């Protein structure tokens, strides 16, 4: 079983005992972040009470402000704290590497010390040198946590985990931030002593920290081993994506030893070369497939060994299969898009559709509409790209954006506008512009009720949300990766439950 440490970070000392009991029910170890307390005086007596009751492994921490500590405790205050805390029996102490170096006379039993270093500015260029310096401290455990800006920043973390395992040293290593989530999920199976999971979404103590429940139930961290097939979604951002919920639920229902991870990627070419392609990757892992979302659907194509004719014609790949040392590219967006539209409108021959957007999603939409015999008109801010796409897919592209869409049967939002995040309250069309349209189709699925759909309903339009396309394309992805049919209802329930919450 993977060890999960659940941090407790409360402001008042009278909350400490209850929070610790709650954390103990979720994880194997509880970290008491005593630097979070407004007044830590008297906290050690509570810790002694907790030890007397037993049953929970504890880590005591008094984090320095410059290392991410929640308080403003000075060096002298922390030194005084550790002079008293070191007498606590049967607990581990998380003490910063810099503090250990500065206080050689403190006489803490190094067999009970996690010598730690936290870098919230980025991934240290000299990570191996840092590791060697910390290893020389003779502490029983080493912990390194550094901020990742891109999924490839996880590489040095995985590499130092591999090194520590080879050298027989106990190490905890984590890449913080949303780009580092894979290290939190995969770290224990690769040799990291433990990972950290919060009590709930609001109680995380570091960027990118998952909940303990998600580690156990969503990612099934206890079942991950060297044979686990790894899948993921690459894009920027990916935090809003429902794909991890959908695919992990489908893998679990099918009894497949696989995990699906969010992978926040800025440089798609670097990621494909350094982490994805079997011939050039710098990590030994069982990567079997990827979903690709904005803005990388076109960029990844240059990194693939073979591309399905449909994806090549569309000019965008949203699904990658790793097979026999090669990367194969597909596009399941087109079928995912058109299937719900046919269900709603029937035969699409001659149906007049306005498509808003000019990215990878719009490419798949235009290709599918052309194949179905619909009449497509492209509307986009980027005139040059819009003209190129319109010519490629034989769509109309008026020189001016129409003031109203009343001449269309369907208006399709193929932009990210309205996605949970900075643009969540934005819409590519108002109710006034949509009045007279038969159907408004939003490819955005999170949130399920977008501003665009709200405006469309106010205009009297029938509406179709992006969840149907997401599920339809996910089914096709699952089949490409596994060769089998997923449980569609399991996928749907997983998606809708997440959106409801």
Closest CA to 235 of 341, 361, 352: 361
In order of 117, 118, 127, 138, the CA distances from 131 in angstroms are 10, 12, 6, 12
Nearest-CA neighbor of 61 among 82, 83, 90?
A: 82
CB 170 within 8 A of CB 200: no
Return the beta strands (E) in 350-457 as ranges.
352-356, 375-379, 410-413, 439-442
Give the pair of three-digit tokens for residue 15: 């909350």
| Cα distance from N-terminal residue to C-terminal residue, the chain | 28
Q: Based on the residue annotation, tell me whether 297 is a catalytic residue of this protein.
A: yes
Cα–Cα distance for residue pair 179/123, rounded to 1 Å: 12
User: HSE (CB half, 13 Å, CA atoms) of 263?
Assistant: 29
Structure tokens at 238: 């990916």
Task: Report which secondary-structure segment, H or E, holds 126.
Answer: none
List the alpha helices (DSSP H) in 325-422: 333-345, 360-372, 383-392
Task: Give dist(CA 330, CA 316) in Å, integer.
Answer: 8
SS3 154: helix
Distance separating alpha carbons of residues 472 and 332, to the nearest angstrom: 8
Catalytic residue among 17, 140, 236, 297: 297
Which three-class secondary structure state does DSSP give residue 8?
strand
Cβ-count burial of 493 within 10 angstroms (0-12 exposed, 13-18 middle, 19+ buried)?
middle
Contacts of 166 (CB under 8 A, 6+ apart): none
DSSP letter string, 82-96: HHHHTT-TT-EEEEE
Region class of 9: left (phi > 0), else alpha (psi between -120 and 50), else beta:
beta
Q: Sign of dihedral through CA atoms 303, 364, 429, 407? A: positive
* Per-residue tokens: 288: 């079997």
CB 292 within 8 A of CB 329: no
User: Tokens 């996910």 correspond to what residue?
Assistant: 474
SS3 206: coil
Asked if 355 contacts 389 with a C-beta cutoff of 8 angstroms, the reply is no
- Residues marked as catalytic: 297
């Amino acid at each position: 079983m993977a060890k999960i440490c659940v941090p407790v970070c409360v402001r008042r000392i009278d909350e400490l005992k209850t929070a610790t009991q709650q954390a103990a029910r979720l994880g194997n170890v509880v970290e008491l972040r005593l630097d979070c307390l407004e007044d830590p005086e008297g906290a050690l007596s509570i810790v002694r009470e907790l030890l007397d009751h037993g049953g929970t492994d504890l880590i005591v921490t008094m984090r320095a402000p410059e290392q991410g500590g929640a308080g403003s405790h000075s060096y002298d205050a922390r030194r005084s704290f550790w002079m008293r805390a070191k007498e606590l029996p049967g607990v581990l102490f998380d003490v910063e590497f810099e503090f250990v170096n500065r206080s050689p006379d403190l006489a803490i039993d190094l067999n009970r010390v996690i010598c730690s270093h936290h870098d919230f500015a980025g991934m240290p260029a000299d990570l191996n040198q840092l590791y060697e310096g910390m290893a020389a401290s003779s502490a029983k455990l080493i912990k390194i946590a550094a901020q990742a800006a891109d999924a490839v920043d996880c590489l040095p973390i995985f590499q130092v985990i591999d090194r520590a395992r080879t050298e027989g040293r106990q190490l905890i290593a984590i890449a913080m931030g949303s780009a580092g989530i894979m290290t939190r999920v995969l770290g224990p199976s690769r040799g990291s002593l433990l990972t950290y999971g919060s009590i709930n979404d609001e109680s995380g103590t570091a960027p990118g920290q998952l909940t303990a429940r998600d580690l156990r139930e969503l990612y099934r961290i206890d079942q991950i081993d060297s044979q686990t097939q790894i899948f993921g979604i690459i894009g920027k951002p990916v935090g809003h994506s429902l794909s991890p919920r959908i695919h992990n639920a489908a893998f679990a229902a099918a009894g497949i030893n696989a995990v699906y991870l969010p992978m926040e990627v800025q440089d798609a070419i670097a990621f494909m070369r350094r982490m994805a392609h079997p011939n050039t990757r710098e990590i030994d892992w069982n990567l079997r497939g990827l979903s690709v979302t904005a803005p990388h659907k076109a960029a990844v194509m240059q990194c693939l060994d073979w591309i399905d004719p449909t994806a090549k014609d569309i000019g965008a790949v949203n699904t990658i299969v790793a097979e026999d040392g090669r990367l194969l590219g597909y596009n399941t967006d087109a079928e995912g898009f058109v299937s719900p539209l046919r269900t709603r409108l029937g035969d699409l021959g001659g149906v007049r559709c306005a498509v808003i957007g000019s990215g990878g999603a719009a490419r798949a939409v235009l290709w599918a509409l052309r194949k179905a015999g619909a009449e497509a008109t492209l509307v986009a801010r980027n005139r040059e790209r819009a003209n190129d796409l319109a010519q490629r897919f034989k769509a109309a592209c008026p020189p001016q954006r129409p003031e109203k869409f009343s001449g269309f049967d369907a208006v399709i939002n193929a932009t990210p506008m309205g996605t949970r995040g900075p643009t969540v309250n934005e819409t590519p069309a108002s109710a006034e512009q949509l009045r007279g349209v038969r159907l408004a189709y939003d490819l955005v699925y999170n949130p399920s009720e977008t501003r665009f759909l709200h405006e469309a309903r106010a205009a009297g339009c029938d509406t179709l949300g992006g969840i149907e396309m997401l599920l339809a394309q996910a089914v096709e992805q699952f089949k490409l990766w596994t060769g089998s049919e997923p449980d569609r209802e399991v996928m749907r329930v997983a998606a809708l439950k997440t959106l409801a919450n």
